[in-house]
Structure 1
Amino acid sequence: MTFKDLGVREEIVETLKKQGIITPTEAQRLAVPKIRQKGDLIFQSQTGTGKTLAYLLPIFEKLKKAPVTQVLIISPTRELAMQIYKVAAKLAETTKDEIALIHGGSDFIKENEKLKKSPSLVIGTPGRLLDHLRRKQLDLSNVNRVVLDEADEILRRGFLEDAELLIKETANDRDILLFSATMPPAVRAISVRYMKNPTEILLKAEEVNLKNIKQEVVDVREETKLDTLCSLINEHNPYLALVFCRTKEKAASVALELSKRGYLADELHGDLTQAQRKHALEEFRQAKLQILVATDLAARGLDIEGVTNVYNYDLPIDAESYIHRIGRTGRGGKEGLSVTFATQKEYDKLRKIEGAIRGRLSKTHEKESRKRLKQKIAEKQKKASEKNAEGKKFPKKFSAKKDKPKKPLSRAAKKSKRLGVSRGKGRK
């Protein structure tokens, strides 16, 4: 099935093609026809199923050329709000609709100026939206559709009450589109209070076989994470490794630092263009890269054969994210290794993850990984000395990395080159 088969307007289909989006996901195939019709919707699926486009495509079709706000999208975090806005902005360029992004940390006065234009669609976080509402700068009385994106995360962060206050200010006959990975009772209660016979769509979560994955935890300090990661990579010498970070900024920074130290590494996050993302993934699939540093959102749905190691540089926010991350390895009956970094203050969260997966994770201290690497180097050097004593040529000093093949530089490597940093050597 194509987007044209789904009834998406031709000019929007062309806009999607330019972004490299050709075939609708299962979430889009199921949701788009339902959202076109009037009525409430509960859509339960994991992140990364293409749900943002699933609701934005039919929403843009229904927007009227009127100077009133007609759609409100509520996001639990500014990062997600910004991601939704980027997708919506591409569509708005084609449809010529006015949209606005409202979130904490942004310039309040500039946001107010945007709202004065009565944008057709407003995307924002609960707290900041309420601030504008209470100052009479946001009029929701004509909103006929409210999207709650990642409703369970809105609940987890304590914003559900704020979200409900916003819903109450919208038109009485509005539709509510509720998207959530899980359906805790408090989220389910929204359907009872504000929805009328909602349509429910459930996409089954991906099944991960944890038996094939050796899971370890390394007790680290924040300032020693990078050195510890390098020690582990040198020790394990993974064929393909995914490194997960919590933010786009961290992913870009870690990829750059790894490249400076000579590793074949690149980044994967929401700030990349579709072409950059596609290039990074292709390089990784072909093993021209050894390490891909990614965020959770960017890596959702990744299915790359040959991933041997997963490193959780930042602790996942919950058990579902943890399982999704480590599930990138140990596929097809093969064994995989996951290593999670945890600081002392994160051990409560770690115990919750252990409870969810019903197992204890093997724990070591960061010093242990460095000690093991030193022992490995010492053993190699000893063997080298013995072979030299027999009159055989052997490198004088063991190197944890082998010379890289010549290839186009990754974005992280280009950054380090511009900074005048030598790239050194690559994978073993």
Structure 2
Amino acid sequence: MFPRQTKSTETGSEGIEQRWQVRCPSSSEGLHSTPGRSWASHRKDAGHHLTETTDFTAFGLSDLRLAAVEALGWTEPTPIQQRAIPLISTGRDVVGIARTGTGKTGAFMLPALEALKAGGGLQVLVLCPTRELAQQVCDDTRDLAKGSTFRAAVIYGGVAYGPQLDALKRGDEVVVATPGRLIDLQDRGKARLKGVRLLILDEADRMLDMGFRPQIEAVVRGLGKRPQTLLFSATMPNAVHALALRMTRDPAWVEASPSGTTAHGIVETAYSVRPDRKPDLLVHLLDQPGWDQVLVFTRTKVGADVLKSRLDRARISCDVIHGDRHMRHRSRAMERFTEGKVRVLVATDIAQRGLDIEGISHVVNYDVPLDPGDYVHRVGRTARAGATGEAVTFVTSADLGAFRTLEYELDRKLEKIHHPDFDFAGSVAMDRQDTSRKRSRTGRRGMGSKAGERLDPEELAALLGHATEEPAK
């Protein structure tokens, strides 16, 4: 575990560049070509690394770690844990494909904590795309480290530097960070990463989507000796595959969930709806039994704020998070949602990562996501830890192109649902007193005759029904 690279004959920063030259491309090289083997060839081997066990004791974990696992209520390892923990424990680089909610943090942090040296300073560095995910990973790490003297710190932007600088001075063994703030501290000479022996890139696909490649490269250049490197991603586009090949050395490829798939236990459905009726359709659905804790994704910040106002007027307890909200507000909103103090959380894609909340009954794609990867990450907020959930997508006629592409890329059709008891042709303001009394539901219900925007319902339904045809190139 935590193998250190043999010292280069080079010295100083030039030596550092030489050691990482083949592993971290320059900005001019790009990451969109895939050198060597393709992901398709790697994935043939990805399912072979499976330790068939239903007991965490099979991994040789310490009593402290087993006690922490038991306290968290983990009864048996998940597939990604079965595949990754033994490999990581041997010191091997690992590239893992795993959706959110599959026990990914435990897969890399359990063996990491087992290999830490008390008082050894910063040894494990985890890079995450968002503040929310970084905080979640740090919280999980602290839970797994209970009973030991190990400390974990979280570093991200939008908050005061003080506590983060204190953690770095103190020499916390694990640091979970977003790339931007970490580079800021590096440039100030406050973050010294020479002692890092394990580098973990979590949600690598999202980090590249968010343009963090230059920051990842800058962090790597500051590490000095080559650490053991782990890369986890829910999807494996060419850019991520190329990054994995360059950042790791002879990695084991493990796949707990095929790239681009959603979790087991998620019922995926779609509703055709006129744009001006979307708010009232959401209110109608929220009045149905079983819609207990609901996460709603919008495409824009303005759209999120407008929708929250509509739900407020409908007297539905809700909150909103997006990039324009102060970090303090976002943290408070997530806390209230987690504690069940609000039923509905309206969010932009900032929340598709980092929300690890059990009990989310429904995820609503209020706007069709333009990227299939975003869809996978959005709906992955429900059906976590073996639970079940429902993912609902609202589709207007303007969304048909994106919806066809989505189903084609997912290689499956979403079930089309109709609600005849919803008044699509009615006024914008619905009488929630009537709908809230209709709390009995027997199976799926259909849509009214005015469901389509600029299209007859038959035309819209026909287009939705053929959405898995290959989109035009």
TM-score bin (small chain): 0.5 to 0.7
Aligned counterpart, 1:121: 174
Residues 29, 401 of structure 1: alpha-carbon distance in 2 compared, 3 angstrom cutoff: same
1:288 corresponds in structure 2 to none
Match of 1:245 in 2: 296
Separation in structure 2 between the aligned mates of residue 398 and residue 99 of structure 1, nearest angstrom: 49
Paired residue for 2:118?
Answer: 65
Question: Structure 1 239/66 Cα, relative in aligned 2: closer, same or farther at 3 Å?
Answer: closer
The alpha-carbon deviation at position 194 of structure 1 amounts to 3.3
Matches within 5 A, 1:249-288: none
Give secondary structure in 2 for the equivalent of 1:94. coil
Q: CA deviation at 1:177?
A: 0.3
What secondary structure is seen at the aligned counterpart in 1 of 2:67?
helix
Question: Contact 1:126–1:162 (CA<8 Å) still a contact in 2?
Answer: yes
Q: Secondary structure at the residue paired with 2:437?
A: coil
Contact kept? 2:93, 2:252, Cα under 8 Å? yes
Name the stretch that deviates more: 237-246 or 7-16.
237-246
Q: Secondary structure at the match of 1:95?
A: coil
The answer to whether the 8 Å contact 1:76/1:154 transfers is: yes
Q: 1:338 aligns with which of 379, 388, 392?
A: 392
Maintained 8 Å contact 1:40/1:197: yes
1:401 to 410, 414, 436: 436
Deviations, residues 172-207 of structure 1 (Å, cap 9, x unaligned): 231110101122223222333332211111123346
Structure 2 residues without counterparts, runs of 5 or longer: 1-53, 321-329, 384-389, 416-421, 441-473
Write the letter of the residue equivalent to 1:219: P
What SS does structure 2 have at the residue aligned with 1:93? coil
Per-residue deviation at 1:158? 0.5
In 2, the alpha carbon distance for the partners of 1:74 and 1:377 equals: 46
What value does the CA root-mean-square deviation take over the aligned residues?
5.1
**2:63 match:** 10
Pick aligned residue for 2:212 from 145, 154, 159: 159
Cα pair 1:245 1:314 within 8 Å, conserved? no
Q: How far, CA to CA, are the matches of 2:104 and 2:229 in structure 1?
A: 15
One-letter code aligned to 2:83? L
Q: How many residues align?
A: 353
CA deviation vs aligned residue, 1:32-62 (integer Å, no higher than 9, x gap)? 1111111211111222211011101110111
Question: Are residues 195 and 374 of structure 1, via their aligned partners in 2, closer, same or farther at CA, if it must alter by over 3 Å?
Answer: closer
Partner SS for 1:5? helix
1:17–1:95 distance in 2 versus 1, CA, 3 Å: same
Q: What is the aligned counterpart of 1:83 among 136, 140, 143?
A: 136
**2:106 maps to 1:53:** yes
Q: Of the candidates 185, 191, 198, which is equivalent to residue 145 of structure 1?
A: 198
- Spell out the pairing of 1:122-201 with structure 2 (5 A cutoff): 122-201=175-254
CA distance in 2, matches of 1:302, 1:109: 32
Report the structure, 1 or 2, having the larger helix content: 1
**Amino acid across the alignment from 1:245:** V
CA distance in 2, matches of 1:13, 1:359: 40
Amino acid at match of 2:373: E
Q: In the TM superposition, what are the counterparts of 1:252-401 in structure 2 within 5 Å?
A: 296=352, 311-313=364-366, 316=369, 318-322=371-375, 338-340=392-394, 353=406, 356=409, 371-372=424-425, 399-401=434-436
Deviation at 1:125, TM superposition (A): 0.6
Aligned counterparts, 1:411-426, within 5 A: none
In structure 1, what is the equivalent of residue 152 of structure 2? Answer: 99
Aligned equivalent of 1:109, options 153, 157, 162: 162
Structure 1 residues 161 and 311: CA distance shift in structure 2, 3 A: same
Q: Is residue 216 of structure 1 aligned with residue 251 of structure 2?
A: no
SS of 1:100 mapped into structure 2: strand
Instruction: Give the whole-Å Cα distance in 2 for the aligned partners of 1:172 and 1:261.
Output: 58
CA-to-aligned-CA distance 1:242-271 (integer Å, 9 cap, x gap): 733359xx99xx99997996779999x998
Q: 1:264 to 1:124 in 2, by over 3 A?
A: closer
Structure 1 position 312, deviation (Å): 2.4
Q: Determine what percentage of the aligned residue pairs are the same residue.
A: 28
Which shows bigger deviation, 225-234 or 111-120?
A: 225-234
**Deviation sequence 1:211-251 (CA, Å, 0-9, x none):** 9844435536xxx97655214545xx46657733359xx99
Write the distance in 1 (CA, Å) between the matches of 2:413 and 2:71. 47
Give per-residue Cα distances to partners, 1:116-167, cap 9 Å, x unaligned.
1122111101111111111111111111110000111111100012112211
Structure 1 counterpart of 2:97, which letter? Answer: Q
Please, what TM-score do these two structures have when normalized by structure 1?
0.65
AA aligned to 1:338 is V
Are the structure 2 counterparts of residues 171 and 56 from structure 1 closer, same or farther at C-alpha, using a change threshold of 3 Å? same
CA distance in structure 2 between the partners assigned to 1:227 and 1:60 by the alignment: 49
How far apart in 1 are the matches of 2:211 and 2:428?
A: 48
Whether contact under 8 Å (2:407, 2:414) holds in the other structure is: yes
Instruction: Give me the whole-angstrom Cα distance separating, in 1, the residues matched to 2:332 and 2:140.
Output: 12
Unaligned runs of 5+ in 1: 281-290, 330-335, 363-368, 379-396, 406-428
C-alpha distance in 1 between matches for 2:147 and 2:294: 36
What residue identity is the alignment partner of 1:216? S
Contact 2:269 2:414 in 1 (8 A): no
CA distance in 2: counterparts of 1:17 and 1:341, whole angstroms: 43
Contact 1:75 1:125 survives alignment (8 Å): yes
State the structure with more CA Rg.
1
How high is the TM-score relative to the length of structure 2? 0.59
Q: 1:6 to 1:60 in 2, by over 3 A?
A: same
